[in-house]
Structure formats: structure tokens, C-alpha cells
Homo-oligomer: A and B are copies of this chain.
Amino acid sequence: MKELVSRCPIEEVMQVLSGRWPTLLLYYLKDGTKRFSDLRRDNPTVSHKMLTQELRKLEKAGIVQRTTFEGYPLRVEYDLTPAGLGLVPLIDALGDWWEETEDARLGTGRLIERAVQAST
């Protein structure tokens, strides 16, 4: 985890949400409680190590709640915290934006050729 220069809140959230798994985990956890093994099944390509690591990161950030149940076999459940729940619609908004702007994003900048002007 690389140190940040500034204390910019955007840098800080992105530090937590960056990468392939955080938002995916959010996505699966918004349906409700999931066990560790459930999350592995939801994301077949995540490695055992990465999953624990990313869940820990989200836990430390106060986005997910980890609950352990003693006994054998071991059992651990993950939920979104209230704060984490509030994050979900913001992530969804990003996904919506991505879809809605698809035409605009791929159109703009290809047809408009402002380039090749002479500078002083």
C-alpha cells in the first residue's frame, strides 16, 4: 500500500476501491450476508490470498463487517456496514455513467479533429 502525498479524500477512497475486487465484492455483498466460501464461488478467479487480503482492506476501511463463529468447521460471515451500504449507489452511478456515455465517449474525439494547428 503506497503512501499518499496529500490527504485528499478522493485519493483515499480510490486507494481502497482501486483494483479488480473491491467493487465486485461490494456488488456481491449488497445482496446480504456472505460466507468466505460464498464469495469464492461468486468470484471463481480470485485467489484465496487475494480474497482475504481485499476483505481485510475493506474491513479496515469500515466498509465491510467481519463476523466469526467459533467451532469446527470454522465459519466467517461478511456483511456491508451501514456506511458500506451507502457506498453502493455511488458505485452503481459510475456503472450507469459508463453505459450511458458509451456513445458519447467513443464518438467524441474521433470525428472532431482539432489537431494539427500551427503554434507560434
Contact = CB atoms under 8 A, between A and B. Distances in A.
Interface in A1-55: 2, 5, 8-15, 17-20, 23-24, 27, 45
The oligomer's copy count stands at 2
A12 B65 contact: no
Contacts of A87: 94, 97, 101
A14 B11 contact: no
A115 B68 contact: yes
Contact of A118 (B15, B66, B71, B115): B71
Interface of A: 2, 5, 8-15, 17-20, 23-24, 27, 45, 59, 61-63, 65-71, 75, 81-83, 86-87, 90-99, 101, 104-109, 112, 114-120
